[in-house]
Amino acid sequence: MIDVDVTLKVGSFTLAVTFRNGHGVTALFGQSGSGKSVTLSLIAGLKRPDKGHIVIDGHTLVDTEKGIFVPSYRRRIGVVFQDSYLFPHFSVRQNLLFGRWFAPKNDRKIDFDAVVETLGISRLLDRQPQRLSGGERQRVAIGRALLSCPHLLLFDEPLAALDQNRKLEILPLIEKLRDEFHIPMVYVSHAMEEVVRLASCIVLLEGGQVKAIGNAEEIFGRAATQLSISRLERSSILMMEVGPRDGTYDLTPLNHPSGRIWLISYNGKVGEKVRVLVNATDVAVSLVKPNSLSMQNVLQGTVSGFYTEGPAVMVEIVLLGDGKIFAMISRRAFEDLRLEAGTQVFALFKSTALDENQAALVYPNIV
């Protein structure tokens, strides 16, 4: 359990952040300057709050009322940054063992071989960091942090410096750590897909304050959150159920009370509940159910809000049954369709909109 309740004034910026979460990943999400790094520094012990407390799994790290301030090196917190900061003159094995050195001998409950195996780095053990790719370096950095048997793992934009393919390799590893090692994690990222995939609790920060706390569906179902993200990255999260694959066309249906979408080359378990990320710029809006269009993904709903941004409009649609989908359309299209709150509509997108990196856009449900 992580319990954070802190205030701090730095220059003209005031941070006042309160959140609690059990095991699993807590994501700090918010625009640049919202206070994510300051919050991490407070948890890591690099800054002292003016007031408040931080308790991790029953260990009080800070309590200003009781005069407790555990210094950073005694906090048992592993940190993974955007840059891996491996020791260049150490081999991978030595870098990993360095992490282990921070774990008290009687508390080395995380096994070296298990970490090496989980992170897939056994063939790299004798290499020097300069002979590793960016993704490999980041795996070693994660392993080093993990081997210190931390009470908490902090991730500060750990994938920001990696290309999309490396990210897709490492994200499942972080998921595995989350599920196998049961260490609470605080994860800072600008990337919605990372946060949606990993976090059971998202703390939305704005101007140093907590604007909202909830799961991904709650946080990213808010139009205000979507508007705070760059237009191209806005996505809706749909909870859907996997149907039986149509082998003739290599298509798998995902069902929702409002309709059905089709995934290309997807082998999900029939009946499994999954979450699908649909980019708002891939979604079109129709007043009638199309029957002569190539687009096969059609979901029925009602316009519940719209937000004009110059020549574009973000349309919020509440889907039949449950959930929301956002569509970015042109203002002209919006006016031509005479859309307004309450208009019955169909949201459409192509199967190929989900094709590229599709596996990364369909996530198991986090319980």
Which residues contact ligand ATP by CB under 6 A? 10-11, 13, 30, 32-38
Min dist. Cβ of residue 199 to ligand ATP (A):
16
Rounded distance, CA 295 to CA 283, Å?
10
Residue 157 vs 217, nearer CB to ligand ATP = 157
Min dist. Cβ of residue 154 to ligand ATP (A):
13
Alpha-helical (H) ranges within the chain are 36-44, 92-101, 112-119, 134-147, 164-181, 192-198, 216-220, 223-227, 331-336, 358-361
Min dist. Cβ of residue 4 to ligand ATP (A):
14
Residue 13 vs 249, nearer CB to ligand ATP = 13
Min dist. Cβ of residue 29 to ligand ATP (A):
9
Min dist. Cβ of residue 361 to ligand ATP (A):
24
Phi, psi of 77 (to 5 degrees): -120, 125
Q: Which residue carries 């199309």 as its tokens?
A: 290
Residue 205 vs 348, nearer CB to ligand ATP = 205
Q: Which residue carries 């973000």 as its tokens?
A: 314
Rounded distance, CA 284 to CA 350, Å?
9
Rounded distance, CA 237 to CA 278, Å?
7
Min dist. Cβ of residue 15 to ligand ATP (A):
7
* C-alpha distance from residue 185 to each of 1, 24, 30, 178, 240 (Å): 10, 6, 17, 8, 27
Residue 121 vs 153, nearer CB to ligand ATP = 153
Helix (H, G, I), strand (E, B) or coil at 110: coil
CA dihedral (92, 94, 100, 104) in degrees, to 10, reads 180
Min dist. Cβ of residue 191 to ligand ATP (A):
11
Rounded distance, CA 288 to CA 346, Å?
7
Residue 43 vs 303, nearer CB to ligand ATP = 43
Element spanning 348, H or E: strand 344-349
* C-alpha distance from residue 29 to each of 20, 32, 192, 230 (Å): 15, 9, 8, 13
Phi, psi of 96 (to 5 degrees): -65, -45
Min dist. Cβ of residue 30 to ligand ATP (A):
6
Residue 35 vs 323, nearer CB to ligand ATP = 35
Roughly how many angstroms between the first and final C-alpha of the chain, as a whole number?
16
Min dist. Cβ of residue 157 to ligand ATP (A):
7
Rounded distance, CA 261 to CA 276, Å?
10
Min dist. Cβ of residue 20 to ligand ATP (A):
20
Residue 188 vs 319, nearer CB to ligand ATP = 188
The one-letter code for the residue type at 346 is F
Strand partners, 77: 152
Rounded distance, CA 2 to CA 152, Å?
8
Nearest residue to ligand ATP, by Cβ distance, number only = 11
Residue 184 vs 208, nearer CB to ligand ATP = 208
Q: Which residue carries 């934009």 as its tokens?
A: 157
Residue 190 vs 273, nearer CB to ligand ATP = 190
Contact 36, 82 (CB under 8 A): no
Residue 30 vs 52, nearer CB to ligand ATP = 30
